[in-house]
Amino acid sequence: MKAMNLTFSVLHEYLRTFGNMIRKFNFFMFALYCPSFSLPFFFFFFFLSLSLGFLNLSTFRIQLRRFKMMMPPGLVSNLQEALLNRKGSQQQEQQEQEQEQEQSNDNAEQSTEETVEFDASKPILLLTNSDGVDSPSLTHLVQALVLQRLYNVFVCVPQSDKSVSGHSVTLRETVEAASVKISGATAFEVSGTPVDCVSLALSGALFSWSKPMLVISGINRGLSCGHHMFHSGVVAGAREALLCGVPSLSISLNWKKDESQETDFKDAVSVCLPLINAAVRDVEKGIFPKSCFLNIEIPTSPLNNKGFKLTKQSMWRSTPNWLAVSSSRYPPGHFMANQQGGLGLQFAQLGRDASAAGAARRLATQKKNLEIIESVGAAGKHDPNRVKKYFRLEFLDNQQEETDDDLDYKALESGYVAVTPLSISPHIEADIQMVASDWISAVLPGEQ
């Protein structure tokens, strides 16, 4: 091993010296350094020096023009030919690489929509959620819709968990959309929020269409009742669709720790599938409720539900509990990595411009954990008196008394599938309640 290292060291020094002498065109020193100099030997070390970076082609070409009259004509001609051949081969290789890249990009664009056969006679459904492509609820929902062979299914979901991103959007940052493989569907995951996913999908920039028959947001792991609607990513996805003029549904499962299990998502899909099919049918007929979207809350035991019930949004909310934490337990770098995401999660930011700079992009915590930094001092400047305090936000579930049986949380806890019509205008609540009630009664006879 030592002998091999010594050999490489000697060769390295030899090539470095060779390159220096060639750059200076000191052929007398080169002849002394290598008495057995010959033309093949010269070319061998010449190209080896080029490949290892000891010799620069442009510098050598300039020196060659300057001193070519001092060199034998045959050697000058051979070197010029070698340089031209090398340049030509590099250009050809670069062109081939560019052609391969263009071809691969074209193939990728074609594969995103050609891998799944598109039937123009079938309605288009757009699915999104707040917890990404690996969500079991998304898997079961896509499978159920594909097995019916009634729809063209498209999926656009966040790359990471955005369950509490609210109606935040990504501004002044580039959003990446990467194709993912989901059997029977054309799917992308986006480095943004659920609102970004819906907005991008409906823009016509990602897919070849711009208006699906229905947008389905969910199924969320956890309820979205009451004030939870204000910061729910799933509800925001459906709201964004309504803002774009597309009928939509948001669906959540009342997941409870130590009680719920993954198979409950499959049961939840079977419960809401008739409502999805009815919604698509009536959207085609033009009789689906307008000016609102439907928020569907499925009880903890989906198959044991008492039926569908039209409800109103309640005032139910979890109590925020801020806990001071030690900087030694959570290093400052960990908090800084999540600072932008934390600052963006502002409750009741419901407008299209609700959060700037991609408020929830780098949120790495779970839906009930949030970390922020509170500091004093000018940003980017060192201040010895600067104070940093670290906190963690947790939500505590309250057992609130709801006296009205028509409120979403009360109906859900009583075992009903709560269906709440939500509008972007607060002035037509009574109207949408009546329209939604008539529609529910028509598509689901016997339901409340």
Backbone conformation region of residue 198, classed left if phi is above 0, alpha if psi is from -120 to 50, else beta: alpha
pTM: 0.64
DSSP symbol at 407: B
The b/e string for 141-157 (b: 16+ C-beta within 10 A; e otherwise) is: bbbebbeeeebbbbbbb
Q: Which of 16, 8, 277, 293 is nearest to 141 (CA)?
A: 277
The first and second tokens of residue 195, run together, are 């609102």
Q: 């201040």: which residue's tokens?
A: 383
Cα gap 368→345, rounded to integer Å: 12
Distance of CA 248 to the CA centre of its chain: 21
Cα gap 226→84, rounded to integer Å: 74
Q: What is the pLDDT along the chain (448 residues), one digit of tens a residue?
A: 555 555 556 556 655 665 565 555 444 444 444 544 455 555 565 565 656 555 555 655 655 565 555 555 665 566 566 666 666 666 777 777 777 666 655 554 554 444 678 999 999 999 999 999 999 999 999 999 999 999 999 999 999 988 888 899 999 999 999 999 999 999 999 999 999 999 999 999 999 998 999 999 989 999 998 888 888 999 999 999 999 999 999 999 999 988 999 999 999 999 999 999 999 999 999 999 988 999 999 999 999 999 999 999 888 777 778 888 887 665 554 443 343 333 333 333 333 333 333 444 444 443 334 344 444 444 556 677 888 888 988 877 765 666 678 899 999 999 999 999 998 876 666 677 788 888 888 887 666 6
Q: Are strands 417-422 and 308-310 parallel, antiparallel or unpaired?
A: parallel
Cα gap 273→49, rounded to integer Å: 69
For residue 231, what are the contacts with CB-CB under 8 A and spacing of at least 6?
A: 164, 165, 166, 345, 347, 348
- Cβ-contact 182, 133 below 8 angstroms: yes
Q: CB-side exposure of 448: number of CA atoms within 13 Å?
A: 18
Domains contained in the chain, CATH given: 2-89 (no CATH), 116-314+402-443 (3.40.1210.10), 319-396 (no CATH)
